Structure 1
Amino acid sequence: MTNDDDAEPSLVLMASAGRRGIGVASIGGLGGILLWFAASQNPEPLWQAAMVAMGVGALWMARRMWRATAASLVLTPRALKSSDGRVLAEMEDIVAVARGAFAFKPSNGFTLTLRKPGPFVWEPGLWWRLGRRVGVGGVTPGTPARFMAELMQERIAKRSGE
């Protein structure tokens, strides 16, 4: 059963098609170049193994980023969720939103500080969670991400009575 408050999303944040393509192509291209060098240059066996491992890792990362950025982030009155149903942060658990130039945050995004830590999650190019921090952004457009961060800051201010 769905709560009526969660039925209507306040805002949806999706990966930009261009940024998504450039990010995946860059990482996939790096993997291809590393594999090509490992096959064509005949380096020392240790270097060749390292290049193959890094090339396969980069191709895996490109695939992972492609899948992760197919999802979107949905801000409801109660939580920030992924379109696949995972909850990034409940609104009542968010203590602060950092989005300044010197904040530790993803590109074109923001960082949330939570009251309690959660499990480690990493969706390359879209969001990550490490302890009490949730980073949102990467291949998302800057203006909608900034609007989402401002909306969350307003909700926190209303909750605390400022």
Structure 2
Amino acid sequence: MTNQVAAQIDAAAAGSNQMLTFTLGDETYGVDILRVQEIRGWQPVTRIPQAPSHVLGVLNLRGSIVPIVDLRMRFNLQHAEYTPLTVIIVLSVQSPIGRRDFGVVVDGVSDVIDVAANDVKPAPEFGAHVSTEFIEGLAAVSGRMVMLLDIDQLIGADVTGVALNPAA
């Protein structure tokens, strides 16, 4: 058994999850690695009329039409130019219409980390003016705070509906 396989077995036994981490500006975010379908370099998308501003458009990935969301715009962060480091993470999400792939544009991918379940703290409550329902929790990893995202809550029916019914 390789060291990597042994580490994965140990992580599962310890109640931890592997998370793909990525950056938006100076902040680090994480998503469950089991939801990641692929990581692609930035490429232009086909725009969809009347889509929400954070939905950049769609890409044709091996015959599947995949909606692409700019997470900077979704989180109301300052716009950044797309660079050679900008990537699209293709994720599998559970939506009201079933499981579906979508892509999120991020500044860059960091690494895969193990996060122990007991190291995850709940997102703080900020009242009605700040929405945190898409944050599964926060974890301190190697001296940095990682926001763990609930991608099913993050994307929601408005985004998956746009890609499946462009005329709407």
Q: Same fold (TM over 0.5)?
A: no
Please report the TM-score for the alignment, with normalisation by the length of structure 1: 0.30
Query: Higher strand proportion, which one?
Result: 2
Structure index of larger Rg: 1
Please report the TM-score for the alignment, with normalisation by the length of structure 2: 0.29
Query: Higher helix proportion, which one?
Result: 1
